[in-house]
Amino acid sequence: MVKRTFCFIVLALALLADLAAQGQERVYVSTDKNAYLAGEDMWCSVYCIDDSTGRYSSLSSVAYLEFHSAQGLEEMIKVPLIDGRGCGRLQIPFDFATGNYSIIAYTKKYGGDSKGAFKGKIVTVFNTITAEKVDKGVEVVENLPQAARVPVAGYGDIGISASADAREGVIPVKISNRGKGVVSLNVSVFHYDELERNSRDLRQVSGTLLERKGDFDITGTEEYAGEVIKLKVTPEVWIEGWWKGVYVYMSAKGNEDDLYVGRLDSLGCVTYYTSNMSGDKDLMVEVVDNVALSARKKDAEADNMKYRVEVVEDVYSHQAGEIPVLKISPQMRKALDSRGMRMQIGRRFAADSIFNLMPMRTASYLGAALPLKYNLDDYTRFPTVEDVVREYVTYLRIRRMDGVRGFKVVNTDGNDFTWVSKGQVLALLDGVPVRDHNLIINMDPLLIKEIQVYPRQIVLNQFVFDGVVKFNTYKGDMGGLHLGEKFSVIPHRGVQYPLAFLGDGISGNSRYPNYNSTLYWNPVVEIGAGETFGFSCPLPKYKGEFLVVVEGIDSDGEAIYKEIMVSNK
């Protein structure tokens, strides 16, 4: 045990030494194209670099992307990072005004107040739903100058070959790495329409990928494992020392392992170091007054204390660099109408199944344990949860302890010797801990789709549970169960799911009319020295010119950009 502890201390000290030597993190952003309509997806690829080494940073697990117009901050998304690389998408809101936008990107530790203007990636958004324009950010002109059609000069030792195969209905693409090291890239294929032609000059304003940066004050908040969430708890009636021994459960509604518990400090705050909660969720927060009885319902007399819970947000001042004025003209009407039609078709038929999930960081408090699953649709239905448990769920019991009914898990040592746990069992309803097990026992079992049992001890912060039982409903809405006034529901925008759009979800799909403007988007592509990466993306149901764009960073920390035009006219 002493040797194991010593090894752990050595590893911890080595990690601390690595973090101490960490330079400033700089976050660079590339997008699938330059011009968008409100309502379209803006796909983003993120590169997080340690400024002192020029290599990818493994310090932060979250990057923040802010979208600024000349009027200020308009929207923000969080992008998960794995070893310095990540991806996300902004579903551009319909209230985005027509104009140019700059993307300010940073991590939490190196994302304090701006020390100067951030030179961000510049993109254009057109809103075809409303006539609203960014104040002092748009100029209406009679005629636009003829947009250049010549390719942008590329850089980096990368080769691209592509052509439109109308007979097969695809664009086959090959990207070769002619350099001596591994390159990390993002690859996009999109319709090169009039809107894109008129936005080409924005690439010069944004500069190369590695020029899109700025300096910030250091906050000191490190998000090494995932997003840090801080809650502030305030009692309705102030009592001296009220926070002592008070714990707070925080979970995310849904069948996922997003459950955390922490103890309040003297300021009434609790901080959770999450492993990243993906997507938009409702945080279910329960304040537990009594530590000794924290895993089960307390008596009604001790339940009178009420609290207000809110998320503590860090607010910093971020300054975008000069954002050029967008010039628009009646000449754009045809292109806007065409793109608007394609956007509406895409939104009408879009489904998560056409996207591709990229690797994502996961860390469950349940570890690698696999549950025993009971799909209730496989059994004859009984009128009560107690009957269901008695008849079907082999490793679960309902017992009375101190006059209170609750769940007990049947444990086994692997030698056919079993015993019913005497300790506390963690009961979850759609991922939310329910300490009063009677609330679940008294539910309508027809609302429950599945029961999962973990017949093993689980440690959650300072609590030890003799097993876990999960009840998952059909709708994921906890069966409409009201959990009482100690629960607070807080909307939370988590990190983006790391998604790609590779086009394979629509190939041969007769129910999906392919009128997409972006035909292919792969945000994280690594190609070894001398190797080739190939793919084919489906041609859309319209004719036109399509631009294949490759952007990224080589093994020497130098920027890469190459493009090639193909046509199916």
- For residue 299, what pLDDT band results from cuts at 50, 70 and 90? very low
Report DSSP letters for 349-417, one per residue. Answer: H--GGGSEEPP-----TTTTPPPEEEEGGGS---SSHHHHHHHH-TTEEEEEETTEEEEEEEEE-SSS-
How confident is the model over 331-362, as pLDDT tens digits?
Answer: 899 999 999 999 888 887 766 668 899 998 77
Amino acid, res. 550: V
Residue for token pair 């996300």? 88
Report for 198-202, 291-295, 440-444: range of highest mean pLDDT = 440-444
Paired strand residues for 160: 175
Positive or negative CA dihedral for 248, 252, 254, 255? negative
* Residue 67, pLDDT above cutoff 60: yes
What is the rounded end-to-end Cα distance, in angstroms, of the chain?
72
| Run of H or E including 440 | helix 438-441
Q: How many CB atoms lie within 10 A of CB 434?
A: 24
Residue 149 has pLDDT above 50, yes or no: yes
How confident is the model over 8-48, as pLDDT tens digits?
Answer: 344 444 444 455 556 899 999 999 999 999 999 999 999 99
Task: Give tens-digit pLDDT for 393-445.
Answer: 989 999 988 788 999 998 765 555 456 667 889 999 999 999 999 999 999 99
- Categorize the per-residue pLDDT at 512 as very low, low, confident or very high, splitting at 50, 70 and 90: confident
Question: Could you give the percent of the chain with pLDDT greater than 90?
Answer: 69
φ, ψ at 448 (rounded to 5°): -95, 130
pTM of the model: 0.91
Rg (CA), the chain: 27
Does 2.60.120 match the CATH number of domain 372-483? Answer: no
**How many of the other CB atoms lie within 10 Å of CB of 362?**
10
Q: Which two tokens stand for residue 283?
A: 């945080």
Cβ 224 vs Cβ 83: under 8 Å? no
For the chain, the domains span: 24-219+316-360+498-567, 372-483
- What is the spatial distance between Cα 402 and Cα 399, in angstroms, rounded to a whole number? 10
Average pLDDT over residues 478-495: 89
